[in-house]
A = this chain, B = another copy of it.
Amino acid sequence: MTNHDPYRQAGVDIDAGNRAVELMKTAVRATHTPNVLADVGSFGGLFALTNLPPQPVLVASTDGVGTKVKLAAELGRWRSIGRDIVNHCVNDILVQNARPLFFLDYIASSKLNPEAVAEVVTGAAEACRAVGCALLGGETAEMPGVYAEGAFDVAGTVVGIVDRAALLPQPDAMQAGDLLIGLPSSGPHTNGYSLIRQLVAGLDLNTTLPGTNTSLADALLAPHRCYLAEIDRVLHAGIAISGLAHITGGGHVENIPRVLPPHLAAEIDTAAWPWPPLFAQLLAWGEIDTRMAFRIFNMGIGMVIIAPASSAQPIQELLPEAILIGRLTSRHPSIPAVHLRTE
């Protein structure tokens, strides 16, 4: 790919880190389905639209991974960041029921480390391939003086497609009594890392996280989980759902209301599932109360399905990990859109 030649931009000797770059190229090519046209002379990536739905709607989202990149740079572990950015973006358009077509990445630093770039791109390519999404292009930028020493930033853009009739959320189909069904997260995903970095500052990240067999580093850098396969299973089984909320920055408190009509509120039973050890530890270190926790973190639930009560059992049969975390209630103007039940 023309745009993915970190050596060219970095001015680094072509011999160094060749293996990482070759791995990256192979990984990127492996994402190229027949829809990706040959990129002779390409300034942009080409994606042929085929098998279009009756009323095709493109859904696009740009996002970054936040200061999780800072932690990754400190630990010299970049590949998971590539998976983070792709999965974050894919989940963001999944809540509108879009399936990803292609992804483009942006990686920038004051001085590029070609191996780090190759690792990020390889991770992104792996995550793209897992969901049938083409890694269509990207840009690596060397920006002297713009980034802090040793720091880099990673952003990405996904473009997906959905039939207009299948768009989610469907607020008109929601009513009080509908259920909130959560799917487990793999960790904090890509949210809350500026706070997390403060809380773990000075700690040895190779120590084991209490209550687990996992190092703190592994727990903190666990890649953002993608929920496409799980949602596909539910929808392919013909189970009715009316909305999905991706629990990102702002946590449950800010993200669930984004898909609710104004007359409905979400009641979350915060004790319905055991908070994963990492979150329990972060809350203890930061003396963070439940309300604040649910405004910052996903608390172990990365995707919330909103569905009529009759869908709960079939969903839980298909996805045994699914947890009933709450329900929709009538919303009075005087109460917030999310009520946290702490028992």
The residues of B that contact A138 with a CB separation of less than 8 Å are 62
A82-125 vs B, Cβ < 8 Å mask (1 yes, 0 no): 00000000001101101001101110101000000000000000
The residues of B that contact A56 with a CB separation of less than 8 Å are 48-49, 52
A17, CB-defined interface residue at 8 Å:
no
A47-83 vs B, Cβ < 8 Å mask (1 yes, 0 no): 1110010011111111110110110000000000000
Q: Given A139-B155, A143-B153, A146-B153 in contact, is the A60-B44 Cβ separation under 8 Å? A: yes
Number of copies of this chain that the complex holds: 2
Rounded to whole angstroms, the CA-CA distance of A171 and B42 in the bound complex is 12
Q: Given A44-B59, A46-B59, A144-B67 in contact, is the A157-B104 Cβ separation under 8 Å? A: yes
The residues of B that contact A66 with a CB separation of less than 8 Å are 141, 143
A211, CB-defined interface residue at 8 Å:
no
Once the chains bind, are B48 and A61 in contact (CB under 8 Å)?
no
A220, CB-defined interface residue at 8 Å:
no
Once the chains bind, are B59 and A45 in contact (CB under 8 Å)?
yes
Once the chains bind, are B98 and A44 in contact (CB under 8 Å)?
yes
Rounded to whole angstroms, the CA-CA distance of A52 and B158 in the bound complex is 21
Q: Given A145-B148, A146-B69 in contact, is the A160-B62 Cβ separation under 8 Å? A: no
Q: Given A57-B37, A108-B153 in contact, is the A144-B47 Cβ separation under 8 Å? A: no
Q: Given A41-B169, A159-B58 in contact, is the A64-B96 Cβ separation under 8 Å? A: no
Rounded to whole angstroms, the CA-CA distance of A159 and B197 in the bound complex is 35
Q: Given A57-B49, A104-B60, A137-B61 in contact, is the A93-B44 Cβ separation under 8 Å? A: yes
Once the chains bind, are B60 and A102 in contact (CB under 8 Å)?
yes
Rounded to whole angstroms, the CA-CA distance of A63 and B66 in the bound complex is 19
A246, CB-defined interface residue at 8 Å:
yes
Rounded to whole angstroms, the CA-CA distance of A153 and B59 in the bound complex is 24
Rounded to whole angstroms, the CA-CA distance of A138 and B153 in the bound complex is 16
A332, CB-defined interface residue at 8 Å:
no
Once the chains bind, are B43 and A171 in contact (CB under 8 Å)?
no
Rounded to whole angstroms, the CA-CA distance of A61 and B2 in the bound complex is 12
Q: List 16 A-B contacts (CB under 8 A).
A: A37-B167, A41-B260, A43-B92, A43-B246, A44-B93, A45-B59, A45-B60, A48-B58, A52-B56, A60-B136, A60-B137, A62-B138, A64-B139, A66-B141, A146-B147, A159-B159
Query: Could you tell me which A residues sit within 8 Å of B by CB distance?
Result: 2-3, 37, 40-49, 52, 55-64, 66-67, 69-70, 92-93, 95-96, 98, 101-102, 104-106, 108, 110, 136-139, 141-148, 151-153, 155, 157-160, 164, 167, 169, 171, 194, 197, 243, 246, 258-260
17 further contact pairs, Cβ within 8 A, besides A37-B57, A44-B98, A62-B137: A37-B167, A40-B171, A41-B95, A43-B61, A43-B96, A48-B56, A48-B57, A60-B137, A61-B137, A64-B106, A106-B106, A141-B155, A142-B194, A146-B153, A147-B147, A147-B151, A147-B153
